[in-house]
Chain A
């Protein structure tokens, strides 16, 4: 197997200081191989977002091994209303990561934005608009484009389709799958929706109370859950269908 793009070994993490210091992640271990999609499922508050933040270096109070072998991993957030700057145009939002990466030539930035647009299903006409003038699905496409434009290969997706309705969900999931193939990306895909995880992910890790209680191929875990918590999650999601 190639060197993993993310390797986490016995990771613990805390929030707060002094008396308020509270442990969130407990002894978490996982690996993400290049080109792989790993799903993280679990109830609200189980530490899924915290795990993603650790990978991004946004949580500093940690102990254990955390190796990220990919420059500038990026995140796509759940709420496309909050993740795009309301005061800026789409064109500006997509050029800004390039500016930050030191691409000073405006024509070069425009060219790279223009190349990426069709890949995420946006048109040149969208560039002059502000986020408020886009639909939820279009906003999420902009957020995905912004995460990709610096050429990052590791993308963390924190409930990227939860705020969208079902048809849009399917479209964005298909887009994510296509982008992964075309650009050779790896995803850490966080969701509380087991059906969505099934569509996109190769492997899945089940979290509860800050621990990973089960991890394996999506098919294996879904067909033969070993941990009672996984069984409970699966039963709950079946009951919804």
Chain B
């Protein structure tokens, strides 16, 4: 049976488009995202302003471009924090096991028992809003789920014969962990990363929407949605375009993750 997967293709194209959009926004916006223009207040989409303008006459395309860049940067930073520490903790716990592993995993279970966005909310309410606080809070709270994912993979591999024979040959533990076992876990980790990325995007958007995320000087897509909600009926495009970018980005990355899982299922 030849089962051709379109998840990876569609997801890849969608993600590439969204990334291109975001990357463009880091270097170029048609107008200044903060320039106000009285005659253009609440203007609908037009040739001059494809996404329309907001209640202050600011160009929504320019603001979306900038917001997407901010959202992506934060999501990637959150992912990096969660992934690097989750990988280290999960790999060591999974490979060595023992009492330290049991203790660390109990702790992870306790943290993971709460939805991470909810916990991040509480943390941010205490430490205050701002880009770096969002990254720190979400990133740290993402560690347990990555750690568990990685640990599961390492448990699966640590008693395989190829690992035993590496030990017999005198390969060091660290090299076994990162050079021998890690490459085998990439498909699973990749699929976990796509889920993590989407949670990070949504997490940041939720924080900013609730007003405890980024500062108004560096608006993200979530912050724009918060701003737009008061004008949902007068300027629906202000909500629609940033929301569409979030949804398409999540959809694209989600499809990639689904495609990777499907590949793995077929391979094994």
**What is the interface of chain A, defined by CB distance below 8 A to chain B?**
56, 58, 72-75, 77, 79, 82-88, 96-97, 99-101, 143, 146-147, 150
Contacts and interface: CB of A to CB of B under 8 A. Distances in A.
B169 A83 contact: no
A83 B170 contact: no
A205 B183 CA distance: 41
Chain B interface, >50% SS class: helix
Contacts of B171: 96, 99-100
Given A83-B165, A100-B175, A150-B169, 13 more contacts: A58-B164, A72-B168, A72-B169, A75-B164, A77-B165, A79-B161, A83-B162, A85-B180, A87-B183, A97-B169, A100-B171, A146-B169, A147-B165
Nearest to A156: B168
Nearest to B172: A100
Interface in B160-202: 160-162, 164-166, 168-172, 175, 180, 183-184, 186
Contacts of A99: 171
Given A77-B161, A85-B180, A85-B184, A96 B166 contact: yes
Contacts of B165: 74-75, 77, 83, 143, 146-147
A195 to B, nearest CB: 25
A56 B165 CA distance: 10
A62 B164 CA distance: 19
A85 B162 contact: yes
A117 to B, nearest CB: 18
Chain A interface, >50% SS class: loop
A33 to B, nearest CB: 22
A82 B170 contact: no
A142 to B, nearest CB: 11
A150 B160 CA distance: 21
B169 A100 contact: yes
Contacts of A86: 162, 184
B169 A87 contact: no
Interface in B140-177: 160-162, 164-166, 168-172, 175
* Most chain A beta carbons < 10 A, residue from B160, B168, B170, B183: B168
A82 B183 contact: no
Contacts of A101: 169-170
B139 to A, nearest CB: 28
21 contacts: A56-B168, A58-B164, A73-B168, A75-B164, A75-B165, A75-B168, A77-B161, A82-B161, A82-B162, A83-B162, A84-B162, A85-B162, A85-B184, A86-B162, A87-B184, A96-B166, A96-B171, A97-B169, A100-B169, A100-B171, A101-B170
A188 to B, nearest CB: 14
Contacts of B183: 87-88
A72 B170 contact: yes
Contacts of B172: 100
Contacts of A85: 162, 166, 180, 184
A241 B192 CA distance: 52
* Most chain A beta carbons < 10 A, residue from B160, B161, B170: B161
A73 B165 CA distance: 11
Nearest to B175: A100
Nearest to A93: B162
